[in-house]
Homo-oligomer: A and B are copies of this chain.
């Protein structure tokens, strides 16, 4: 895509404005509300203008996801940075994960929903690392010879990702979601105690 717009001509910086518009629309109108034409309208340009900055809708979604990943990382960092204990820190990461899901459901859906398959794949692999590193660091203290880092990370990531998505969609887990939110989270995340114990 056009990663170097050196000097904006008409708008100012349309590319950034469209991404901002997209994130706003996701928050306001939900995932369905996002469309190229609405982003264009909100940015005050014509309906086909975005085509010059993104490779169609998939390209715009890719750019939004790219930006969203830094917000995602920030949420996890913020929720874990005050923890000193290794386990509490890991749970803080998960707490941040869930906070992000609750705060920006549509953006999360764009980033991690099945749609991510159709998103511009190029930069994705690099971007993912931005968020994944946070988890990796939090998992590091628990790595053992019989529990390699990639496996542990996959286990933890699967657990929190699964819980977050089931939480978001309301599928299954009704008994648990009937509990107060924090208690439900704590009880499910208690699985980490065992997964990580000697």
Contact = CB atoms under 8 A, between A and B. Distances in A.
Interface residues of A, number: 43
Number of this chain's copies in the assembly equals 2
Interface string A163-179: 10110111111111000
A169 B161 CA distance: 12
Contacts of A132: 172
Interface stretch (A21-29, A81-89, A148-156): A148-156
Interface in A11-32: 31-32
For the residues of A in contact with B, the DSSP-based class is: helix
A38 interface: no
25 contacts: A112-B169, A113-B113, A114-B165, A114-B169, A116-B170, A116-B171, A117-B169, A117-B170, A128-B171, A132-B172, A151-B188, A153-B175, A154-B166, A154-B187, A157-B172, A157-B173, A158-B160, A160-B162, A161-B162, A162-B162, A162-B165, A165-B165, A191-B195, A194-B197, A195-B195
